[in-house]
Structure 1
């Protein structure tokens, strides 16, 4: 969208002009003129998305402006690349080398043409639309750089309102199931809370105890029977790659034989129920098995075997419940309490217009959460809501549109990325954050790290209830998400409206069925990303793979979860031509044995993800020359022997995952002492196996990392008792926020694992290994206790301890996750006891 595109370009232009690179400086007058014209228009551009829905002229003008800004950004990127090349290839500082003369001429001419056309657009806005585009200089820029009021997680999406009676009724139906397969339908319009109701029942503690197996299947409008069955098997712990439909169904039957199971088929649209009848016929019966179907169409539920007596129709929220839900979102920071009497009447007016629809209430509540509590601001939102409803009485879509309109421009860029993913796709937060950083969508202010700023952008969208959390770690960190199908409908409509007015496609989702011509005919592409659903892989032909290098303006190339017909390295032999590439993901690709040598030419690369490449044995030495790298991820690369010497030169690294230091006899490898140069490192994952990977003079290296917040130390397949002694001296910095110890080889916890050495630690995870006791210092003192809020202990068969001692040492504990720790006693877990060596309840929220 145009205001988002302009905002991103202005940020990049500001940075480029600050660098004083020679070729950019040659065109400084033209870039300054362009910057001035766009700044003058920003006041109009902030309302352009709303205005163009009502005025075709505005729509045509803004799309053309957007295309011009995209082209100017490509020119700027070319200038910066040429400047870097020029510094290497010539010592001439006052004239262009002969090879740059055509580029200089063509670039100057095209920038002048773009400036002239943008000037005409600005004049047209004033003349034809009567819109003022001349705010005082500086005010638009300052407003454009304002950050969200809440950039950290505030609203807890697990909170629901008004579902107690619904949950009770559905649970009674489930517990009555006996013979056959009980089918329950939850039927109602979009945004009424069908999925939320089903989730509430699915995650209920009594329901969890009642059923041996539970499966949640998101059913898209374009599903296949195979996809449904693979999703069911995934919940049963089976990847099932390559099986046909008959074999898939036989496996499901085997897993469920003699089991009481619950299946949720969420958001079913297809009225032809034959697909379900074939699956249902293959399911075992007679043990109280049940299926819950959520759908907008009653006929669908009937076709899937739901009787009238077992159809639940969620009701609109009552006036009191509507106001309660709104308060829980809009005033989440104060526990749902308003605290501003002058805002209550405006808030109630807004809630009334939502007509009891939970999705609409949460969307407008999310808007207000991120606004300052000023009466005029709330009144403005209420008036906009009223005006939009006058033209469209669909309160859900209007509230979602209003929520989008009120987003800061940088969040609009981030939010629109979700339109690329297929319906009901579960998306990893990591891929989104890397994409946003790679394309420059993340605004970096006052020296903030880009990874931190990207996290804030994600929280900004979840707080507004535009993005739904799917999975979180034990300490509450989100790692997968999705969007409601009505949110996706809104995004798709906005994108299609722009395309119908001449906007070019610059982002493409990579799927196995992609047509190679879509790559060949679109040289303007900025991002190509794997957008497979969970459990799927991409299978690419040679014809598709060789088209990647045609897209010379690519910033983002994500090939994760892909299988190629031939050796991957040979397919990427032209990747060095992608000089603008900032994010490359080869995660979980097959077969990847080594990184392709042309990667050395990617001087702008900021993120390199080669995680889960199990055959990757060595990292090339040129990795240490990619000085702009901020994220390097080679986690879960079991064959990787060590990192190359010189890693300490990558001073911009903020995340280093899967780091394996060299042993004393591996002279070409990187020693752990090089880490002390990585002063911006925020997240570190260490793989240690032998004591000689840590030199006697290297034990204090982690203390130099004053930005380090997250540390993981994994000692899988460790050898030799000297590693324990070395690790006992490898003390992390005091500001550490989260610590994970995996496969720790010692029987006693490290001496530095105590509340005095790690006073700011909030989350501790210890999984697998030989640990049997905690060092005496672990328990702290009467005046010094842990501030830990989340504790995870897993697969520690020898670990002894009592809950009373843990609770005394960690009085701030909120979340405890314990499994396969048979010698722990008296932990406060409901129905405490063992089932096959596992606590009956693995997680307890205190």
Structure 2
């Protein structure tokens, strides 16, 4: 990963050298020498990953180079901290006589000089054992393929299933034949064959959903406990079951399933001890045609879990035609899933043939080609590279994944290695990844791009390459959570351990995931400490462990979300001020958290602060308004938070602000809604309102000039149908370029007058949930020349909403995704296209 480390460092160095700081001017020549040497090496470092896998000596040299770059990055960060005080020590004579500055000057200059000498030596000695040209003969390069695109890349849907329809049909036939006892079905085969995909296709089938009263999906990791499996089953049934012992958990499972026909999928089962399964199986009610599907790589596993040979299914590899079809759908997704480049067809089929019909391998190489230019010579190079990987490992899945990693742009390699921290089958939120990447500087921020937009592009880059699997999307299709295939996880852990990014065996690495059992030691190399718990689980962290979190002085990212501490967190983090390099701090959903530690005021480098779901948090300290670099502030779902601090409008770099609770006129220390007009970089804004006093008469135009704002949500929870607030909201015009709008608990009976296709001409997604809304304002319907461009519509829990569905459709001709639930008065809704289950109506047909 040396090329990735160098890329991140050069990005930071480029920004630092552009600053007008005397601290940097003292070391400018040494930093510029370092920059020049590394730029010379970049063309060579692109191939270093493959070279070091074949040469042990070179691997050690590259490890030394990586450590030197990390050391230089820490020095750069220290210089930036010193620059904050530059104005206090502006005169040369004071600098020379100040005893606090002299040691820093001396040590920094000495360390940079030593780093430059060692890097120059590495560059000169590489040819002696690799037989490559002298690096000093190379010219600095502009690695176009390694740069982030100037514009956002499309996000493609790679969830298509090809060639597995027969497998799914066979399993469905067996399920419909079940009547007595519990039918056990096994799906057995090697990794990457599509076992989980087949099970998912069956599990989500409409007829299967109608047949079974309860459906439970459990991902069984290699390292699991009986209790974890039980809790996972109960979460599927809507019960978090915190605090129950195993006996009580089994009793609850039985009660939920008693008298019901259920389907349980145990996905990716390993191991030889099945005591856990026999315990659970005995507690399950029998009869009613209930069934269990087990996916595994090992036939004996299925047999020991009660699968008879007649109900064991071995999926076959994809046929030649299906393999090519699947490859086309991914590699040519930008062209509608069909090869329209005759010169690429032969080399494409050659690549597909090497995948040996394994869907995971085909998707991996297809993802690579999607992100490459459609040029024959580039495709030929990839085919040859794939051939070389297969020569080293004949497993086409492993070879394709290794190829995918090697072909990642360097900035995406750092992002990809972050996935190594997460346990098996862990559901990962996109926001956590993007905020972490932003905090640690993995995302290139040049070309005037929004930081969050650039981070989301990195996320799309990994999903488009099939290195991330989609778990959950919003109603309009935006990915919110993801996971990684276990074979992808094996690769990323191997690469992370090679590069000392993360290790499952050594806590003295640069990135660690928080676990309840961890025994944290002082680790001065540590850059990121993150909560990586699975859905529905929490970290229970002892005080003596938590107190050590602030001892890692080079920490950039600290995410303590979903954690429970035995004493107040503000006390445990009272020394957080020493972490002056910290850029990402997440304490969301932690307990107990009533206030943030006072020393937070020293964290001037913070770019992301997340305190969401802290129900006992009563206030945010005024110091956050001095964090000039802050880009993301999330304070949503903080029920006790009365307002945000005054002068929030000074945060000119803020791009995301969620949970904004404006102060009333009597709350003099709070931020009024009028300050939002200064946040001209805002892309995403979530406002929480409860009374009209929170919007002054001169503040109703506060949003209209926020030209970067794309996503706006307004929640009026606890407003109790306030008519005065409704009148103010009717004047709170959003900007015209708004892309997505969400209204929750809207207090008025009539929609606001600005909710019309003329005022919001490019609105694509509209969500209205809860509240008193009964009718749409006349402006909503537009006119003969103006209709909505809305593509996604969600109407939820609107008990009084009595408009006609057909009329809504007429003014939204571009509508393709609809989610309607608990709207009993909605007239002429197309019942033939919906399912009615549990009181929820949802249109299943996506309109083209």
Q: With the length of structure 2 as denominator, give the TM-score of the two structures.
A: 0.97
2:206 and 2:637 mapped to 1: Cα distance?
34
Q: Tell me, what secondary structure is at the counterpart of 2:704?
A: helix
Residue 29 (str. 1) matches residue 32 (str. 2):
no
Shift of 1:454: 0.1
What residue in structure 2 maps to residue 792 of structure 1?
A: 794
CA deviation vs aligned residue, 1:154-199 (integer Å, no higher than 9, x gap): 3212211011111111111111222211111111000000111111
Shift of 1:340: 0.6
Contact 1:154 1:333 in 2 (8 A): no
CA deviation vs aligned residue, 1:331-363 (integer Å, no higher than 9, x gap): 001111211100000000000000000000000
What residue in structure 1 maps to residue 819 of structure 2?
A: 817
- Paired positions, count: 842
Structure 1: runs of 5+ lacking an equivalent:
none
What residue in structure 2 maps to residue 511 of structure 1?
A: 515
Alignment of 1:455-474 (within 5 A): 455-474=456-475
Q: Tell me, what secondary structure is at the counterpart of 2:95?
A: coil
2:36 and 2:134 mapped to 1: Cα distance?
12
1:135 and 1:695 mapped to 2: Cα distance?
65
What residue in structure 2 maps to residue 250 of structure 1?
A: 251
Contact 2:683 2:711 in 1 (8 A): yes
1:93 and 1:481 mapped to 2: Cα distance?
57
2:756 and 2:228 mapped to 1: Cα distance?
48
Shift of 1:147: 2.3
CA deviation vs aligned residue, 1:647-669 (integer Å, no higher than 9, x gap): 10001100000000011211221
Alignment of 1:38-49 (within 5 A): 38-49=38-49
CA deviation vs aligned residue, 1:204-261 (integer Å, no higher than 9, x gap): 1111122221111111001011111111111111111111111111111111122221
What residue in structure 2 maps to residue 565 of structure 1?
A: 566
What residue in structure 2 maps to residue 308 of structure 1?
A: 309
User: Residues 93 and 217 (structure 1 numbering): CA distance in 2 closer, same or farther, change over 3 Å?
Assistant: farther
Residue 66 (str. 1) matches residue 70 (str. 2):
no
CA deviation vs aligned residue, 1:611-638 (integer Å, no higher than 9, x gap): 0000011112111111111000000001
Choose 79-88 or 766-775, whichever is displaced more. Answer: 79-88
Contact 2:635 2:659 in 1 (8 A): yes
Residue 725 (str. 1) matches residue 727 (str. 2):
yes
What residue in structure 1 maps to residue 81 of structure 2?
A: 81
Alignment of 1:179-258 (within 5 A): 179-258=180-259
User: Residues 732 and 215 (structure 1 numbering): CA distance in 2 closer, same or farther, change over 3 Å?
Assistant: same
1:175 and 1:414 mapped to 2: Cα distance?
44
What residue in structure 1 maps to residue 622 of structure 2?
A: 621
1:223 and 1:131 mapped to 2: Cα distance?
48
Choose 97-106 or 479-488, whichever is displaced more. Answer: 97-106
Shift of 1:132: 2.8
1:443 and 1:179 mapped to 2: Cα distance?
60
What residue in structure 1 maps to residue 14 of structure 2?
A: 14
Contact 1:822 1:838 in 2 (8 A): no
What residue in structure 1 maps to residue 366 of structure 2?
A: 365
Q: Tell me, what secondary structure is at the counterpart of 1:157?
A: coil
What residue in structure 1 maps to residue 415 of structure 2?
A: 414
What residue in structure 1 maps to residue 383 of structure 2?
A: 382
CA deviation vs aligned residue, 1:442-493 (integer Å, no higher than 9, x gap): 0112110110000000000000001111111101111111111001111112
Shift of 1:419: 0.5
User: Residues 834 and 536 (structure 1 numbering): CA distance in 2 closer, same or farther, change over 3 Å?
Assistant: closer
CA RMSD in angstroms comes to: 1.8
What residue in structure 1 maps to residue 347 of structure 2?
A: 346
User: Residues 681 and 91 (structure 1 numbering): CA distance in 2 closer, same or farther, change over 3 Å?
Assistant: farther
2:134 and 2:844 mapped to 1: Cα distance?
56
What residue in structure 2 maps to residue 114 of structure 1?
A: 115
Shift of 1:93: 8.2
1:710 and 1:83 mapped to 2: Cα distance?
36
Q: Tell me, what secondary structure is at the counterpart of 1:186?
A: strand
Shift of 1:151: 5.0
CA deviation vs aligned residue, 1:482-531 (integer Å, no higher than 9, x gap): 11100111111223334599996100111111012xx32x2110000011
User: Residues 160 and 830 (structure 1 numbering): CA distance in 2 closer, same or farther, change over 3 Å?
Assistant: farther
User: Residues 303 and 732 (structure 1 numbering): CA distance in 2 closer, same or farther, change over 3 Å?
Assistant: same
Alignment of 1:91-170 (within 5 A): 95-96=95-96, 97-132=98-133, 134=135, 139-143=140-144, 146-147=147-148, 151-170=152-171
Q: 1:768 aligns with which of 749, 767, 770?
A: 770
Q: Tell me, what secondary structure is at the counterpart of 2:703?
A: helix
2:230 and 2:134 mapped to 1: Cα distance?
56
2:838 and 2:318 mapped to 1: Cα distance?
43
Contact 2:124 2:136 in 1 (8 A): no
1:837 and 1:822 mapped to 2: Cα distance?
9
Shift of 1:384: 0.8
What residue in structure 2 maps to residue 4 of structure 1?
A: 4
User: Residues 830 and 26 (structure 1 numbering): CA distance in 2 closer, same or farther, change over 3 Å?
Assistant: farther
Shift of 1:70: 0.4
CA deviation vs aligned residue, 1:423-454 (integer Å, no higher than 9, x gap): 11111111100100000000112110110000
Shift of 1:678: 0.2
Q: Tell me, what secondary structure is at the counterpart of 1:123?
A: helix
2:543 and 2:299 mapped to 1: Cα distance?
46
1:501 and 1:605 mapped to 2: Cα distance?
23
Shift of 1:92: 5.4
Shift of 1:124: 1.1
Contact 1:188 1:297 in 2 (8 A): yes
Structure 2: runs of 5+ lacking an equivalent:
none
User: Residues 590 and 748 (structure 1 numbering): CA distance in 2 closer, same or farther, change over 3 Å?
Assistant: same
Alignment of 1:401-800 (within 5 A): 401-499=402-500, 505-516=509-520, 519-520=521-522, 522-719=523-720, 720-800=722-802
1:549 and 1:615 mapped to 2: Cα distance?
23
Contact 2:834 2:843 in 1 (8 A): no
Shift of 1:145: 5.1
CA deviation vs aligned residue, 1:295-330 (integer Å, no higher than 9, x gap): 000111111111111111111000000000000000
2:142 and 2:66 mapped to 1: Cα distance?
18
CA deviation vs aligned residue, 1:113-142 (integer Å, no higher than 9, x gap): 111111110011123212235488775244
2:440 and 2:139 mapped to 1: Cα distance?
25
Contact 1:611 1:635 in 2 (8 A): yes
Shift of 1:778: 1.1
Contact 1:635 1:658 in 2 (8 A): yes
Contact 2:834 2:844 in 1 (8 A): no
2:657 and 2:136 mapped to 1: Cα distance?
45
Choose 407-416 or 175-184, whichever is displaced more. Answer: 175-184
Choose 298-307 or 77-86, whichever is displaced more. Answer: 77-86
Contact 1:151 1:460 in 2 (8 A): no
Contact 1:63 1:501 in 2 (8 A): no
